[in-house]
Amino acid sequence: MTAHVVSAAVPALEVHDLSVAYRSQPVVWNVDFELPPGVLCGVVGPNGAGKSTLFKAILGLLPTASGFVRVLGKGFESQRLRVGYIPQRESVDWDFPTDALDVVLMGRYGRLGWFRRPSKADRALAMECLEQVGMADFARRQISQLSGGQQQRVFMARALAQQADLYFLDEPFAGVDAATERSIIDLLRALRDRGATVLVIHHDLQSVAEYFDWILMLNMRLVACGPTADTFTPENLHRTYGGRLTLLAEAVERLRAAREGRTAS
Amino acid sequence: MDELLRFVLLRDANTVYVVAGTVLLGIASGLVGTFALLRRESLVGDALAHAALPGVCAGFLLAGERRLAALLGGALLAGWLGTQAIALIQRRSKLKDDAAIGIVLSVFFALGMVLLTYIQTLPTGAQAGLDKYLFGSAASLVGRDVAVIGAVAALAAGAVALLYKEFKLLCFDAGLSASLGFPRGLLEAVLMTLLALTVVAGLQTVGAVLISALLIAPAAAARLWTDRLPVMLALAAAFGAASGYVGALFSSLGGSLPTGPLVVLSAAGIFCVSLVVAPERGLAARLLRRRRTNARIRGENALKHIFLIEEHLANPALVSGEDVAAHHSVGVRDALAMLEGLRRRGWVERDGAAWSLTPEGSTEARRIVASHRVWETYLARELALPPDHLHRDAEDMEHVIDRDMLGRLDEELGHPARDPHGTRIPRPEERP
């Protein structure tokens, strides 16, 4: 509950003119938006719209072509530990030799810093987080023996263990059962209610209005970003899903080819 | 026998060097190889080793003599260049990892062979013994070489102890690792340097061609035995050390047999044994589990068969071993053995030549039959299959649907009374 001395005037996240055109990643061009603290924001857009790319660029995992990011009023570097991240479930090796509790403990590594090992208090906190996602009984289970939904719950527990103020969740509902989806959305609401801002890449347009109070609509460029009630309109949906901006993609590809000395395909 | 004793007691100074060198190298390889394996970069060690050869030669040519620092420095630099070349090819061309590694590995190695042959023609070169770096020559190890290998092993152990948590996170989830502020490039460079040092330390013992096997085999064997990373690291180091010791032992007993290849063969032997006997993941354990499952399925089928006859005759029927044998297309002897197994579990009882279900056996049989018929009902409803397409599938499913799943299927279907063929569905808990 320490998190919320933040004044409402300071946005939780500011993204200024962010552009990414990195190797085979989808192109994201001139994305510019702000999110206030304490919102649960869905990120929607068709396949290849650059949703994951946008997350990775904000988190500094991909080089950007231009633009900058501010988290809770300061540069991203100085605010790392206030940012939590769940990558797509398939992006990690679930046959890795470790158990559920150990994965949750990884959420503490940022605060521990270099060389230090998790303490008893970290372990207790990690167990508590597993408890919150209903996975306490599976703490010592090898992670490959967990179902898809259980693996996603473990990831959710790891995010909770990060005790962040700003979260990026890449498709936490992909391939999970209805009960897991319900329990994850409840946890996300609880995070929002204590003042955290949560961005969630989401595919099921049916549940957008029910789940999210803010919505960010993306298709290579930002189509719209704002409160769901005014923003999630048929017109914006049409602009988001109404086909790729083929000319933008082609122009950016030419730019990259020119920089790398290739002929544009 | 005398020779064995001399080896075990480390009587000869040379034996001490060989054993210390191979064992320490095995430990370093096991530790470093574990992280290479987990990062799916086992082949990078191979590329590094081949790339190191021209570096060794260049180091010799620059120093004008066989100076250790020059050779190691050259090998490290060339190894680093090799990995950079691989990364560059991956980034700037459409080639995949395997092609990039294959090209770099063979080109660097070819360059190394050219330089090596040239060095052999030099007056200083012939006695420098650089050709030993191809396949290794543990017998030529001296105290200084062992000290270098020991230092690399100590460095690897120290780095793993210090950076265990950072390495683990990098291998499991590089994205989270970087987002938490652990620079990916730096950690990868540290791992790569450890790999390069281990390869260089192993050049004289095992050789450039074979060292990658020592990096991969102990770690791969260790993975088969455990699901915990600390145990895997300890086992990989132990397997590496054991490979070194056994290889040195056979080499010593065999007279002039080469140590390096024997060390690699020992590591391969440990891997093969692990592949067969490791618990859970081993082939033997899997075979055993499959046989147990098959035996259980045969027993369940016999039980079901008796139940179906009883159900059909509507009075506690007498089933003979011949009936069961005919139904399952097995010999009467096998059928009787199966029935005897069921009797020991308390599911059937025998009266002369006639067999019948006990109350417990009846419950179990109803569970199996219910699983079969509920599954047929589920398929008919959810997949809209006609009744004549249901039976075969249900024959397999009835053995894997446990009570919990049966309960959930039953719930979802609203506890149907009859299956799609119109037959009554029994329930395990009902009393006959």
Report ipTM for this prediction: 0.91
Question: Are residues A85 and B179, on separate chains, in Cβ contact within 8 Å?
Answer: yes
Mean pLDDT of B292-307: 87
Question: Are residues B226 and A97, on separate chains, in Cβ contact within 8 Å?
Answer: yes
- Using 50, 70 and 90 to split pLDDT, how confident is the model at B353? confident
Which residues of B sit within 8 Å Cβ distance of A?
Answer: 38, 91-92, 162-166, 168-169, 171-173, 175-182, 223, 226-229, 232
Least reliable range by pLDDT among A84-88, A254-258, B270-274, B400-404: A254-258
- Using 50, 70 and 90 to split pLDDT, how confident is the model at B242? very high
Instruction: With CA atoms as reference, report the closest residue to A105 among A139, A63, A71.
Output: A139
Q: Residue B321 is encoded by which pair of tokens?
A: 């071993």
Q: What is the pLDDT of residue B317?
A: 59
Mean pLDDT of B359-381: 91
Question: Are residues B179 and A61, on separate chains, in Cβ contact within 8 Å?
Answer: yes
Q: What is the pTM of this model?
A: 0.87
Closest residue in A to B226 (Cα–Cα): A97
Question: Which candidate in A98, A101, A123 is best for mutational testing of the B interface (most B CBs within 10 A)?
Answer: A98
What values do phi and psi take at B378, rounded to 5?
-60, -45
Q: Does residue A74 contact residue A13 with C-beta atoms inside 8 Å?
A: no
Question: Mean pLDDT score of chain B, rounded to an integer?
Answer: 88
Question: Are residues A109 and B173, on separate chains, in Cβ contact within 8 Å?
Answer: no
Enter the DSSP assignment of A20. Answer: E
pLDDT tens per residue, range B326-340: 777 778 888 888 888
Who has greater pLDDT, B313 or B192?
B192
Q: Does residue B263 contact residue B212 with C-beta atoms inside 8 Å?
A: no
A contacts of B228 (beta carbons < 8 Å): 97-99
Mean pLDDT of B169-179: 96
Is pLDDT of B151 > 60? yes
What values do phi and psi take at A86, rounded to 5?
-120, 110
Is pLDDT of B246 > 90? yes
List strand residue ranges (DSSP E) for B138-206, in order. none
Does an H or E element contain B315, and which? none
Q: Does residue A175 contact residue A21 with C-beta atoms inside 8 Å?
A: no
Mean pLDDT of B52-76: 87
- B65-74, B161-170, B284-293, range with greatest mean pLDDT: B161-170
A88 at interface of B, judged by CB pairs closer than 8 A: no
Who has greater pLDDT, B223 or B357?
B223
Q: Does residue B32 contact residue B194 with C-beta atoms inside 8 Å?
A: yes
In angstroms, the CA B321 to CA B172 distance is 56
Least reliable range by pLDDT among A28-32, B162-166, B250-254: B250-254
Chunk chain A into consecutive blocks of 10 residues (it has 265) and report each block's average pLDDT, rounded to whole numbers.
Answer: 54 94 83 96 93 95 92 92 96 95 97 95 97 96 94 97 97 92 96 96 94 95 95 92 74 77 68
A259 at interface of B, judged by CB pairs closer than 8 A: no
**By percentage, how much of chain B surpasses pLDDT 70?**
98
By the 10 Å C-beta count (0-12 exposed, 13-18 middle, 19+ buried), B147 is classed as: middle
DSSP characters over B245-298? HHHHHHHHHTSS--HHHHHHHHHHHHHHHHHHH-TTTSHHHHHHHHHHHHHHHH
**In angstroms, how far is the first alpha carbon of chain B from the final one?**
73
Rg (CA), chain B: 32
pLDDT tens per residue, range B89-145: 887 787 888 888 889 999 999 999 999 999 888 887 777 778 888 888 888 888 888
Q: What is the pLDDT of residue A130?
A: 97
Q: What is the pLDDT of residue A244?
A: 66
Mean pLDDT of B223-243: 97
Question: Which candidate in B37, B94, B173, B228 is best for mutational testing of the A interface (most A CBs within 10 A)?
Answer: B173
Q: Does residue A198 contact residue A173 with C-beta atoms inside 8 Å?
A: no
Question: Are residues B179 and A80, on separate chains, in Cβ contact within 8 Å?
Answer: yes
